[in-house]
Structure 1
Amino acid sequence: MEKADGLLRMDTFAYRGKNYEVPIFDDNAPPIILKASASAISLPNTSPILRCINSIWNLKEFSCPRHPISLGILNTDELNAYTKPDAVRVLDMPIKMPDCDEYRLPRTFSQFTGVIQRIIDVEHRINPQHADYYAYLTIDQRWVKPGTLQREAPCHVDGFQGARWNPKCRINHTYTVSDVLPTAYYIQPFDFSLLDECIHDFFWEMNAQVADTNEVHRWQPQPAEITLMDCYTVHRGVENTSSSPVFRTWLRLSFEERRRVFDRLGNAHNPFFDYNWTMVDRDIEQLGLCAYRTTSDPSLRVFPWQDLSGNPLPPGVPKTKPQLRKTTDESVK
């Protein structure tokens, strides 16, 4: 692959059996600067996602089903740019800092400026306190093999505030778009009133409650549809059910309040902001949490990289998938 504009190299490292490639950007290549402009998009005025923007984390909000808000579908020119191959993978890199209205993008990601501009135009319209937020960019583009997911994970939310966050913070909200294999969302209430954030893995309980409904509340946006969700919007990636590999481009832009510094090893550094965070190896499995329902289907209470007994899978072995349906009837959506 030819080196991308503004990219110096890719650094690689690993911990706890996970391998990471982190892009190192050239700070001598001027960044792309984006600023919000007026947006005329029509948004639902009854959405709980809009109601809760800038609110403090409240576990009871999971009882209110969340339907992602559509920002529309990429047009032909936007989609052609967005899906251009050889995009550099980046994980949770800040492209906006609190108290700054500029979005600074390494030139490596020029093909995504149209999508990101659409997102920030909406963000500044719906969030009067946007100055208090980081914007973290994730881009993942690769071939997805048959029977696999691009991003292996249980049912989950972005921005869950567990025991580490005390007092609780203002909540996350996130924009995503995928050209194929759109994310599955679960538009149903979730009850976590009996769980303890210091003891229980809430994502495994999300698996269990989705399985209780036989995944009947599953909903997917259209391909290339930009959507907005918040930290109470339960979702999961979907498998490639075809017999051939599928080339997928996926983008996420997450907005987190100023206390929520994303300092995990594997996250990329943006040289166009002055910051020096100490990066740490932090993942949910190191917390030693357990399933609330200890007799549920074993596939619902292990990580994808574990077998049904919770032991690490050998390299090359297919990932463990949560059994979210009691039937294989594909009419269940």
Structure 2
Amino acid sequence: MKIYGSEPIEIASDVIVDNSEMYFYQYLPIHLKETVRFAVPERLNNLRSIINLCCYDFGKNIDANLNGYYIYLTAKCLYVPSGENLNRFGWHCDGFMTEDINYIWCDCIPTEYVTGEFELVQDHEESIDQMNRLFYHSEPLKCKPNSIYRLDEKVIHRCDYNRSRNAILRHFVKVSFSKEKYNLKGNSHNYLLDYDWEMKERDAHRNHPVK
């Protein structure tokens, strides 16, 4: 058992990003471990301000050696139907049982989280069931739209859903720092970088992005 329930750390506010084009990128590598090059596709240049803020905070507060990490970009700008969300529902921890650091930003329908001191079993599937039982009737806190938050594995959070009657265009960005290759099928490939990984089958349930 480990203690969970940390609060996400806000590192920037009032970060406004253009949302005039819809897209979907899942764990796109923009930096490979043991290299110095960053490669962001031109289509995602509007996200450079978020990426730069995340890299600055990570280098200052986590590890100054960015070259020792893979950096992944998740970016989704899509319409969310009423009662739905862009991501899977349910309480979870990004980078569960790892030292991965994730930064998140959105312009609406912000992420919800709970704080406290909770013991979670160290198993991907069992911990998901445990969290959903523990927090089924909870009154969660909410992140602020247009703010960037840093999350470690101890931040318990979930996607909120579109509570309006109409579809809403939601822009969500996540920047992930890890020493591991995120190697699940369906992840976006960055053709600006030279790499060839064996990609493993993605499980239907929420899980760590490495196999």
TM-score after normalising by structure 2: 0.89
2:38 alignment counterpart = 103
Alpha carbons of structure 1 residues 235 and 196: separation in structure 2 relative to 1, 3 Å: closer
Cα deviation digits, residues 255-283 of structure 1 (max 9, x gap) = 111xx211111111112222100112121
Contact 1:135 1:256 in 2 (8 A): yes
- Cα deviation code 1:289-332 (max 9, x no counterpart): xxxxxxxxxxxxxxxxxxxxxxxxxxxxxxxxxxxxxxxxxxxx
Structure 2 regions of 5+ residues with no counterpart? none
Aligned match of 1:280? 200
Provide the residue aligned with 2:12 in structure 1. 72
Max Rg structure: 1
1:112-151 paired onto structure 2 within 5 Å: 112-126=47-61, 127-151=63-87
Structure 1 residues 269 and 278: CA distance shift in structure 2, 3 A: same
**Does 2:120 align with 1:180?**
no
Q: Distance in 2 between matches of 1:186 and 1:92?
A: 25
SS at match of 1:89: strand
| One of 92, 95, 98 as aligned partner of 1:159 | 95
CA distance in 2, matches of 1:159, 1:283: 16
Cα deviations across residues 176-229 of structure 1 (Å, max 9, x unaligned)? 00000110011122223xx4638x521111111112xx313x111211011001
| 2:131 aligned to which of 206, 231, 237 | 206
- Deviation per residue, 1:100-123 (Å, 9 max, x gap): 233210111011112211211212
Amino acid at match of 2:6: R
CA–CA distance in structure 2, aligned partners of residues 264 and 137 of structure 1: 14
Which residue in 1 is equivalent to 2:191?
271
Q: Name the structure with the higher strand share.
A: 2
Q: Relative contact order (alpha carbons < 8 A, sep ≥ 6): 1 or 2 greater?
A: 2
**Contact kept in structure 1, 2:3 and 2:119, CA below 8 Å:** no
Q: Distance in 1 between matches of 2:47 and 2:201?
A: 29
- The aligned residue for residue 182 of structure 2 is 262
| TM-score normalized by the length of structure 1 | 0.58
- Given the superposition, is the C-alpha separation of residues 286 and 141 from structure 1 closer, same or farther in structure 2, using an over 3 Å criterion? closer
Residue 198 of structure 2 aligns with an amino acid whose one-letter code is T
Q: 2:118 — aligned with what?
A: 190
